[in-house]
Each structure stands twice: as structure tokens, then as C-alpha cells.
Amino acid sequence: MNDFQLTRTLDEHAAGAALRADVLHGLTRMPKVLPPKWFYDARGSELFEEITRLPEYYPTRAEREILLERAREIAAASGARTLVELGSGSSEKTRHLIEALPALEVYVPVDVSESALAGAARTLLAGHPGLRVHGLLADFTAPLRLPDTPGPRLVVFLGGTIGNLLPAQRAEFLRAVRAMLSPGDALLLGTDLVKEESVLVAAYDDARGVTAEFNRNVLAVIDRELDADFRAADFEHVALWNREEEWIEMRLRARTELTVKIRALDLVVPFGAGEEILTEVSAKFRQEGVREELAAAGLDLVHWWTDAEGRFALSLSVADGPRAADG
């Protein structure tokens, strides 16, 4: 792939060290917590792809509907010559934007999976031979230094993944994105919207139990990577709507009193019957709340698009002044 370049900012041991740190911190505190990024080994990624096809899970379909309907408007508003995607994965949805951006020269996917970056590059370059792909093997939640590419740049963060960050984390993340932007650059942000509780809970607790298996997959990751003895059957999948915070919480609840050994950490973790691990928060948004959070980071919301049913939104925002200083 002559038009594919890869920059690594993660070394081969970074993921293992981060997992050890997160498990040690998360399972020795009260209440217990594990970050949702550890769902996504090969099996977890397969399960999530299956989730996106479930009738209950509307966000992927709703976001794709907006991209198909509004891609040309997004392209016209941004005029992007460089497209940067944070947490790019397979880059499947982004292809709608790539096809709609007439001036696009460079695509910069950012992901923690080198195989995902290379696979997406192969697919995109086969269909867009004039495109240059510069992959960044990086954690998008950490400060990023983008490659030197032509502007204007459009940074996209899709899938409602912003909702997995707690409010303080979101504020820090949006400030970091703002620091990447020069005058004329823009951010395209996907946000799932507040709606009926029954619809929200069903999206995270489907009738076939795929999301339950996905949730429990984090235990399989810890077993394999840290020589632990979790048994998935010992934990019940729980999804509930937190009305006060306006977010979905996914948890794993111990069915009985039990003890887990994590040998790589020389750690013994006791669980009381009914004790829970918080594995994911997925915040839902309202337009004014999104506008306020963007403004606090120095970004002006200039376009707001939703699907026909008003379930999901894409917003386009621009920097409200000169780019912030690096760091």
C-alpha cells in the first residue's frame, strides 16, 4: 500500500500495562469499575458488530441515516482536504463522508488496533486510489499530535462514543480536540439523544442476550491476559437508566458471594452477593447541553442534524478563535 503510512505512538507493551493499571485500580476501589475499552478484543469486536445489527440497537442505523442524507452538506460546510477520525475501527461509516468530500486528499484514522488501521486502509485505497491514508496507532483519549496535512481539516468522532466519557473527561477531551484545530478546521460529533427509557434500556439489554455476552466479555479478557479465574456465569448483566445523570449504566452483578484470583497482579478480589462492577456509562444528550459543552471547550456549534425520528444527532462545530497552545 504505497499510499498508506502508519505512525505509532503506542509501544507493544502499552495495552498490557494499561490493562493491569485499570484492573488494579478498578477492582480494589468501591464501587468497583472497569473501563469499557476492555470489551474490545477480537471476540468483543465481533459481538459489538452483531449488536449494531440488532433491532433494539438504533444508534448505528440512525447515525448512518444522517450520514447518507447529509454527507454532501457536511462536505460543503467543512470543505475538508484532510479527514481525521478518532476511534476509526473499520472506517465503514466514514466512507460515506470520504465519497462526499470532493477536495479530500488525506484520511487520518486514529485507533489502538494496528490491524484495524491496515485493514481499513486496504479497503479505502482499493476504492479511492488517489487518497493518502496516514494511520495513527494511538489512544484518542490521550493528547495527539496530528501529522502535517493540508487544511481545512475535519475531525470526526462518531458512534456516540463521547457518551462513554464522564463529564470531566468529556471536557478534557473536547479541549484536547480544540487544541488540534486551526482556523477553518471543524469537528463532526455524534451524540445519542435523550429519549424514552424503555427504548434506551432495550438498546443495552437486547432480547437475544448479545449485549449481555458483550458485557461479560471483559471478564474473559482479564482471565486471558492477567491469568484470572472469573467465571462469566457468576455475573449477571445489568442495564439501567440513570434519570438524574441522563445516562445508561451497564454493570456486572455477582450472583453469589465469591472470590476471584488475578494471578498476574497477585490480587484476590472478594465480591459480596449482588455486588456490581460498573463497566460502561453511555450518556445521552440534548442539543443545548451539547452546545454548552462545546462552547466551554472553545467550539461553536454551527450545524445540527438528526435522523428522521430524532434519536441521534451529528453536530458540526468550529474553533472560535486561534488554535490553543500545544499541551
Q: What 8-state DSSP symbol labels residue 231?
A: -
How much is the pTM?
A: 0.91
Percent of the chain with pLDDT strictly greater than 90: 74
pLDDT level of residue 32 (50, 70, 90 thresholds): very high
Q: For 112-167, what is each residue's pLDDT tens digit?
A: 777 778 888 888 888 888 899 999 988 888 878 889 999 999 999 999 999 999 99
In the block, cell 479527514 appears at 83
Q: For 222-265, what is each residue's pLDDT tens digit?
A: 999 999 999 999 999 999 999 999 999 999 999 999 999 999 99
What's the rounded Cα separation, in Å, for the pair 229 and 12? 25
Strands (E), the chain: 4-8, 32-33, 82-86, 106-111, 132-137, 153-157, 186-192, 235-242, 247-254, 258-262, 267-271, 276-283, 299-306, 312-319
pLDDT at 41: 84
Q: Has residue 326 got a pLDDT over 60? A: no
User: What residues have CB less than 8 Å from 55, skipping those under 6 apart?
Assistant: none
Q: Has residue 95 got a pLDDT over 90? A: no
pLDDT level of residue 321 (50, 70, 90 thresholds): low
Q: Region 42-54: what's the mean pLDDT?
A: 91
